[in-house]
Amino acid sequence: MIVCGAGSSGSVVAGRLAENPDVSVLLIEAGGEDTAPGVTDASLWSTNLGSERDWGFRALPNAHLNGRSLPMSMGKVLGGGSAINVMVWARGHRSDWDFFAAASGDPGWGYDSVLDIYRRVEDWHGASDPQYRGTGGPVFVAPAQEPSPLAPATVAAAGSLGLPVFDHPNGRMMEGDGGAAISDLRARNGKRQSVFGSYVYPYLERPNLTVLTHATVTRVIVEANRVTGVEIYQQGTTIAVGADVEVVLSLGTVHTPKVLMYSGIGDAAELNRWGIPVRQHLPGVGRNFQDHVGISCVWENRVPLSPRNNSSESTVYWRLSDSENPDVFICHVEVPLNSDETAARFGVPASGWSLFGGLAHPKSRGRLRLTGSNPLDPIDIDANTFSDPDDIKTAVRCVEFCREIAYSGPLRPFIRREVMPGDLTGRHLEEFVRNAAVTYWHQSATAKMGLDSMSVVDGALRVYGVQNLRIADASIMPAITTGNTMAPCVVIGERAADMVIDAHGL
C-alpha cells in the first residue's frame, strides 16, 4: 500500500493501515523531519512560513486584489500543514458535512456520521461534553490553556452583541448560526501535536511501515486504466515503486491535481497542450480551487501584552447575510497582522492585536494550470480571489463587524488606538479590503468529490475511470468547510482508511 503525502490526511491513512501488521505501508513525503523548533514549539509556528518546511507557493497576480500576488504556504515536512499551521481544531459546520453527503450521494459523509468519527478520534481535555466530544482517541485537543486576557474579552465582546457564547467551538456552536468561544488547539504543554505525531509515530518501529522523506511523487504509473505504482524523484534520481493494493494521493490541493495531470489524468485540452498522453479525461482536475481569504483589522495595545499559546486563542463564527449558516469567521490574533501593502500604508505597532476576519464560504473559484511538460516544473495557481462580487461585499461587512466587536465594550480597555482600517467607508473601505486580503492557508477543492461531470472522485474517494487510485486530502472537498481545515482533513483520512480496509478485507 502506497500513501503519498504525510500531511493531515495521509498520516491518518498510513497510521490506520499500519495498525495491521500484515499490511505493508510505504508513506512518501517530499519534506524532511519534523524536529525543528518551529514545528515542535507551538509559539514559534510563524517561523515555518518561508522556511524549508514551506512549499512557498505564490498565486498569480490578481486584478481583483489590485494586481497583488498572494503567498500561499503549505507544509513540506512530516505532518504537512499540521506541522506548520496555527494548530486550531475546527470541525466544520453541520451544513458542510451534509453538503458533502448530498454531493457524493453517500450519507456516510453526513454530519451525524462525521460526528461519530470526531468523537472516536478525539482525546478531549476540556469540559465534559460526551454528546459532542470524545476521549481516549489519538487526537489530543484542548481549549487554549491560560489564554491571554484578550481571548476571553473577545468572546465577551461578541456576546455583548447578542452572539451566543459556548464552552467550546466544536459542538452546538457548529450546528446553528455560530457564536463565540475560546479556540480548541492541537497543542499540549506548549508543544505542537501534529497529525503525523498522533497517527504515525506510534508505529514507526513496526517493520510493515516505511516512511520515505525528501522524495517527491511526480506521477502515478497507469497501465490499462489501473494504477500499479508511483514514480518518485529523490536526490536527482527518478525511481518507480510498485503498489500491490492501492495508491492514495494525499499531496494536498496543489500537488494532488498536479500529479494527476502529469499522470495523464485531467482535462484533455490541458494535457494535450503539454504533450502529455491522456489516460483519463477528467476536466475537473485542477478546477474549483477555493480558499478562505482573511482581512486583518489591527489595534495598538494600551499596555504591551505578550502572546500566549499559538497567539490565536478565541474564535467567532457568525451569519451576516441571509445565508442559513455562518458566512464569516473571525480569529483573535495577539499580534498585529498585516499584508505588505497595509503595513506600508498604516504602519505596524510595536504591540498590538488583530481581528482576522475570514469568508467562510467564498463564491469565487480558481484554477491550477501546468507550466511545462516536466513534472518538476512549477504550477500556476490562479486563485481568482474576489472574482465574485458577492465576496467583496461579504468581506466589507466582515471588517465592519470586526470593528463592532472591538468597540462593543469588553475589548475597549485593551485599545490605545485603532491602526487599521479606521473609519473608512464606501469605495475606500473596499480598497482597503482588496489591499489587506491574504490567505488563511486553507486551499481546497481542486479534485472534488461528487456525481457531476466536473467531479474527480466518487463518494468512496476513488478517481473516476482509474482503478486502484484514491485521493484523501482537502482537494476532494466539494466546497470548503467552515473554519480551519485540519480537522476535516483528519476525517477525510479516517474515511479513506476505512474504505481501503473494507474494500480489501485488511
Quickly tell me which residue has 520515505 as its cell.
212
Rg (CA), the chain: 22
CA-based nearest residue to 89, from 126, 61, 116, 48? 126
Residue 445, SS3 per DSSP: coil
Residue 329: how many CA atoms within 13 Å on its side-chain side? 27
Written as one letter, the residue type at 227 is V
Task: Name, in order, each residue with C-beta under 8 angstroms of 270's C-beta and a sequence gap of 6 or more.
Answer: 261, 286, 369, 370
Which residue(s) pair with 376 in the sheet? none
What is the β-pairing status of strands 469-471 and 247-249?
Answer: parallel
Chain centroid, CA 482 distance in Å: 10
Element (H, E) at 489: helix 486-504
Q: Which residue has the cell 455562518?
A: 326
Contact 116, 130 (CB under 8 A): no
**The C-alpha cell of 449 is what?**
468529490
Q: How far is CA 499 from the centre of its chain?
A: 22
Task: Tell me what percent of the chain is helix, strand and coil, each rounded to the nearest 5.
Answer: 30, 25, 45
179-182 and 314-318 beta bridge pairing: antiparallel
CB 460 within 8 A of CB 472: no
Residue with cell 467607508: 425
Quick check: 264 and 271 in contact, CB under 8 A? yes
Set of cell numbers at residue 68? 497583488
Rounded distance between C-alpha atoms, residue 236 and residue 238, angstroms: 7
Write the DSSP symbol of residue 339. Answer: -
Active site residue 442: yes
| C-alpha cell of residue 49 | 512560513
d(CA 199, CA 11): 6
Length of the chain: 506
Q: Give the distance from CA 234 to its chain's centroid.
A: 27
Given the residues 168, 255, 332, 442, the one annotated as active site: 442
Residues carrying an active site annotation: 442
